[in-house]
Amino acid sequence: MKQIVTVKGVPEVIDVPSPAVESGYIVVQAAFSCISIGTEIHGMKVSSKPLWKRAVADPQKALNFVKKIVSNGVSKTVDLIEDKLSSPVAVGYSSAGIVIAIGADVDDIEIGDSVACAGSQGAFHAEQIMVSRNLAVKVPDGVCLKHASTVALGAIALQGVRRLNPSIGETITVLGLGVLGQITIQILKACGCRVIAIDLEQDRLDIAVTVGADEVLNPSIVNDVDKVKLLTNYHGVDAVIVTASSPSDHIVSSAFNMCRKKGKVVLVGDVGLNLNRADFYAKELDFLISSSYGPGRYDNQYEEKNIDYPLPFVRWTENRNMAEFLSLIEQNKVKISPLISKTYKVDEAKNAYDDIVNQRPRPLVALIEYEATLGQIDKVILNSAVKSVNNRSKKSKVNISIAGVGSFARAVHLPNIKSLKQYYSIRGIMSRSPHNSQWVMRQYQSAFSTSNFDELLEDAYSDTVLISTRHDSHLDMTLAALKKGKNVLVEKPLCLTEAGLQEIKEFYSDGEVEGHVEYKIDKPILMVAYNRRFAPLIVKIKEILKKSKQPIIINYVMNAGYIPKESWIHSKEGGGRNLGEACHIYDLFNYLVGSDYESTIVHRIPSADNASSDNFCVSIKYKNGSIANLTYTSMGSSLYPKETMSIFVEGKTLILKDYSELIIHDVKKIVESIPQDKGHRTELSLFADGVLNGYWPIPLDEILLASKISFDVEKKLRCSH
């Protein structure tokens, strides 16, 4: 299918795989999508700026850049940032079309329904889109899909009016007559208000008259503040809705000065906000912000998990605003036809954006048209994979497919796989974002891209799968791949439940011999990406410890940094920081100690919601007498090293700092420094060697033991207070 993206600020139409429907989502064959002229053009301008200009404009990002250089080195940091800046950006957030696939948990929409969709997470300019149920509404019979495709913009305008809460007979000024301003005028008129419309462009003033404005003013011709006072018998308007987009502080200042005493100003647009106290203090004005489509916006639980707000407590949400806007169109209270400047075919996308930037008068609404119509719905095909010209497998190499190409996979795994081309040939790239998988396919010259994991499993040439998706998907993907005979390298954690771990055990189990479970090693190789055990300084520490016959004590501090509670890491998807990250350290302990564990002692600082904390201490006693202690905290300073480890053994003290420095206190002090290396590349190299030569780089017992400890710790974290 075709999708419009921008690459370094330049629009491009690319072929991408169709989205794979997920639970709580629908897939829509688009008929029209609406270009958000202000938002999208601004985004294109920002993304076209070179790195140094962005650093000047945002000093905090420049500081973060310097920190990355200190941690990763100049070359790697520049490569990471350049990869991000050169990646395609999906554009668009308002669309309408026909439902062609429905995920689980969606029971009030059917295939063939006409829907309007919103949201920058999915309602892209693309032939097929996947959107969550809460960001889709059915289109009334009296509304065409062309007009319905403006639903996001309409909901934004409607929410601005709701924030104002106008009364019949009030006089309201609308400042800025782009599409939001023109729709706002019509909604205010439907509320029984008198509307004064203001803009610098005469063509937009003319349209405002067409859609119902009572008075129009051009500030370049008349003093708009004085004229507004004259039109209101010098009382001032009851309120101003600012729908303009400009860095000027003068706009909001004018809005304040137009208001009567105790009036309101509602900000919908994007304007300069260096406020002058004298403009609003004496009048005791209310200054309100309208947040996009309404309640639910920027709430992942609402927008992605489809957790609705109860209507008696939150009358108007994003979804209900979208539906009401379409109802206003159906009732002919909002007219969209006068606002549409031009409709472009999807292949004409570059012309559309050129016209928006260069054409005068500037377009109000530009639409992208696709091929879908109600009569063609039975002909729609979900093309789940896009083939590359490089569609060959290498029998002498590991033919690997990659599920999940988020920031970590792109920053770490893919560059390392590319550098190990003597071992690897990349087959498939899978991402839930079709444009992302297609772009990575192009970058790394893989055989195909897809948004459907089953495509990786069905590819006869893929003998191996790397799984780098969110944590809750690891188990199902791993088992599915193993059962298809694929070798698996899965990012930690292997799974999030003990029941899941039992499923892995059963897959490899060959019964018990003298009370010990025996495992089949002739099945596909499974490896969890416990990379730290392969770090060069850890390998050196292991060699030192091998010479010891005595138990050891390990103290490890993970200065992990704060992650907001609303992050997916803390949700069911992530499993929390013990299961999601500390398992790395448990594996490292097991590797260094070389013994099964006997018991754990756990203490934590309770969090406000009494969930599993990200500030805890774990002490593990091993059967050989060794003790390993982990302090995991999000409370530390970012200036302190992220990971430090001290080991005490037979008169020696070993101190590791961030996998870049090892200090050995023995007869004399020895310091070894290297560029930070946490073992990611070596991990991939050994995994490939294991696949090609039939051995397990990490024994299955050790893989299972790390998970076993993490579950033991998790139980105690949840029970401790």
CA separation for the pair 39, 175 (Å, rounded): 17
Same-domain check for residues 539 and 674: yes
Domain extent, residue 399, equals 395-528
φ, ψ for residue 603, nearest 5 deg: -130, 145
Burial class (CB in 10 A: 0-12, 13-18, 19+), 85: middle
pLDDT at residue 713, rounded to an integer: 97
Clarify whether residues 60 and 85 are in a common domain: yes
C-alpha 226/C-alpha 217 separation (Å) is: 11
CATH number, domain containing residue 248: 3.40.50.720
For 217-269, write each residue's pLDDT tens digit. 999 999 999 999 999 999 999 999 999 999 999 999 999 999 999 999 999 99
Buried b (16+ CB within 10 A) or exposed e, 337-355: eebbbeebebebbeebbeb
- The helix (run of H) or strand (run of E) holding residue 588 is helix 583-593
- Does residue 128 lie within any of the structural domains? yes
Q: For residues 213 and 241, is the Cβ–Cβ distance under 8 A?
A: no
Q: pLDDT tens across 573-616, in order?
A: 999 999 999 999 999 999 999 999 999 999 999 876 555 579 99
3-state secondary structure labels for all residues of 537-570: HHHHHHHHHHCCCCCCEEEEEEECCCCCCCCHHH
Q: Are residues 559 and 683 located together in one domain of the fold?
A: yes
Residue 241: φ, ψ to 5°: -105, 120
Please check whether residues 31 and 140 belong to one and the same domain: yes
Give the model confidence (pLDDT) of 181-226 as tens digits: 999 999 999 999 999 999 999 999 999 999 999 999 999 999 999 9
Whether 692 maps to a domain, the answer reads: yes
Does residue 721 have a pLDDT over 60? Answer: no
Among 338, 373, 408, give the residue marking a domain's end: 373
CB atoms closer than 10 angstroms to residue 503: 15
| 378 part of a folded domain | no
- The answer for residues whose C-beta is within 8 angstroms of residue 223's C-beta and 6 or more apart is none
Residue 461 resides in a domain: yes
What is the percentage of the chain residues whose pLDDT exceeds 70?
88
pLDDT > 90? residue 52: no
Q: What is the overall mean pLDDT for the chain?
A: 91
| Residue 388 located in a structural domain | no
Q: How many degrees, rounded to 5, is the angle at CA 706 between CA 701 and CA 707?
A: 100
Asked if 492 and 584 count as a contact pair (C-beta separation under 8 A), the reply is yes
My answer on whether 710 and 588 are in the same domain is: yes
Tokens of 2: 């075709």
pLDDT of residue 549: 87
State in Å, rounded, how far the first CA of the chain is from the last one.
53
Instruction: Give the residues across from 648 on adjacent strands.
Output: 553, 653
| Whether residue 499 is found in the same domain as residue 564 | no
Considering only residues 643 and 41, tell me which one the structure prediction assigns the higher pLDDT.
Answer: 643
CATH code of the domain in which 129 resides = 3.90.180.10
Residue 44's CB is within 10 A of a number of other CB atoms, namely: 19
Distance in angstroms (rounded) separating the CA atoms of residues 16 and 449:
8
Is the model's pLDDT at 483 over the cut of 70? yes
What is the per-residue pLDDT for 375?
Answer: 47
Query: Which amino acid belongs to residue 621?
Result: K
For 317-375, what is each residue's pLDDT tens digit?
Answer: 999 999 999 999 999 999 999 999 999 999 999 999 999 888 888 889 999 999 755 44
Q: Cα–Cα distances in Å, from 60 out to 73, 274, 559?
A: 19, 20, 22
Residues 520, 516: Cα–Cα separation, whole Å: 13
CA distance 353 to 42: 12
Q: In this structure, what DSSP letter does residue 309 have?
A: P
Task: Assess if residue 260 is contained within a domain.
Answer: yes
**Burial environment of residue 371 by CB neighbours within 10 A (0 to 12, 13 to 18, 19 or more):** middle
Of the candidates 388, 418, 392, the residue with the CA atom closest to the CA atom of residue 405: 418
Name residues whose C-beta falls within 8 Å of residue 495's C-beta, 6 or more positions apart in sequence: 474, 475, 478, 501, 503, 504, 707
- Residue 382 in domain: no
pLDDT, tens digit (0-9, with 9 covering 90-100), for 496-545 = 999 999 999 999 987 665 556 667 667 999 999 999 999 999 999 999 99
Locate tokens 């790394």: which residue?
Answer: 444
Structure tokens at 657: 């700092």
Domain final residue, candidates 474, 502, 528: 528
Is the peptide bond prior to 697 cis by the omega test (within 30 degrees of 0)? no
Q: Check whether 547 has a pLDDT greater than 50.
A: yes
**582 and 715 share a domain?**
yes
- 676 within a domain of the structure (yes/no): yes
Residue 155 is encoded by which pair of tokens?
């909901």
Give pLDDT tens digits for 408-452.
Answer: 999 999 999 999 999 999 999 999 999 999 999 999 999 999 999
| CA–CA distance, 415 with 479 (Å, rounded to integer) | 26
Residue that is last in its domain, among 502, 528, 554: 528
* 479 and 494, same domain (yes or no): yes
For residue 245, give every residue at least 6 positions away whose Cβ sits within 8 Å of its Cβ, in sequence order, or none. 38, 42, 176, 178, 269, 270, 271
**What's the pLDDT at 277?**
94
Same domain, 479 and 443: yes
pLDDT at 607: 73
Non-local (6+) Cβ contacts of 61 within 8 A are 54, 55
Residues 6+ apart with CB under 8 A from 264: 164, 238, 239, 240, 285, 286, 287, 288
Closest by Cα among 2, 33, 4, 7 to 18: 2
Grouping H, G, I as helix, E, B as strand and the rest as coil, residue 584 is helix
Query: What CATH number has the domain bearing residue 632?
Result: 3.30.360.10
Reported as type and span, the H/E element at residue 97 is strand 94-102
- Give the tokens for residue 278: 């004298």
- Same domain as 160, residue 136: no
Dist CA 139 CA 326 (whole Å): 7
Tell me what the mean pLDDT of segment 393-413 comes to. 91
DSSP state of 709: H
Q: Looking at residue 674, what is its pLDDT?
A: 96
Higher pLDDT, 39 or 201: 201
Return d(Cα 178, Cα 365) in angstroms, integer: 9
Same domain assignment for residues 669 and 631: yes
* Alpha carbon distance 329, 323 (integer Å): 10
pLDDT at position 374 is 44
Using DSSP bridges, classify how beta strands 94-102 and 114-118 pair: parallel, antiparallel or unpaired.
antiparallel
Q: List the structure tokens of 105.
A: 């948990």
Q: Which long-range contacts (CB under 8 A, 24 or more apart) does 601-609 make?
A: 602/713, 602/716, 602/717, 602/720, 603/720, 604/717, 604/720, 606/720, 606/721, 607/565, 609/565
Residue 470 pLDDT more than 50? yes
Residues 519 and 562 placed together within one structural domain of the fold: no
Q: How many domains does the chain have?
A: 4
Q: Which residues contact 287 (CB under 8 A, 6 or more apart)?
A: 264, 265, 267, 280
Identify whether the C-beta of residue 692 lies closer than 8 Å to the C-beta of residue 398.
yes
